[in-house]
Amino acid sequence: MSAWMAAALGLCAGLVPCALVALRARDPFDRLVALEMAAVLVSLALVALAEAMQRPLFLDLALTQALLSFGGGLVFARTMERWL
């Protein structure tokens, strides 16, 4: 196993506490913060996977994930501020 694959697995392990908070927290804003953290971890894991598999195409996925999670986080925050 390469260092990049180990890094990807380690970053995916970080999704477990985020999932626990997102599934079990009572405050919806706790869940939103966990979702934002998970989006960041997934972006970094996609970078590590792209390097581990020598697939530069996956770097586009990481960049897209980072950009979409930015918009998604803003939309969730504004929606929960006003309407939920």
Q: Take residue 84 and report the two structure tokens written for it.
A: 């939920």
Instruction: For residue 49, state whether it binds other proteins (rule: CB under 8 A).
Output: no
Instruction: For residue 1, state whether it binds other proteins (rule: CB under 8 A).
Output: no
Instruction: For residue 53, state whether it binds other proteins (rule: CB under 8 A).
Output: no
Kindly list the distances between the CA atom of residue 53 and the CA atoms of 23, 36, 44, 46, 73, in Å, as whole numbers in the listed order.
31, 26, 14, 10, 29
* Mask for 3-42, x = binds other proteins (CB under 8 A): xx-xx--xx-xxxxxx-xx-----x-xx-xxx-xx--xx-
Residue written as token pair 């908070």: 21
Instruction: Report d(CA 25, CA 16) in Å as an integer.
Output: 14
Residue 54 backbone class (left: φ over 0; alpha: ψ -120 to 50; beta: rest): left
- Closest approach, Cβ 84 to other proteins, in A, equals 9
Q: Which residues bind other proteins (CB under 8 A)?
A: 3-4, 6-7, 10-11, 13-18, 20-21, 27, 29-30, 32-34, 36-37, 40-41, 43-44, 47-48, 50-51, 56, 59-60, 62-63, 66-67, 69-70, 73-74, 77-78, 80-82
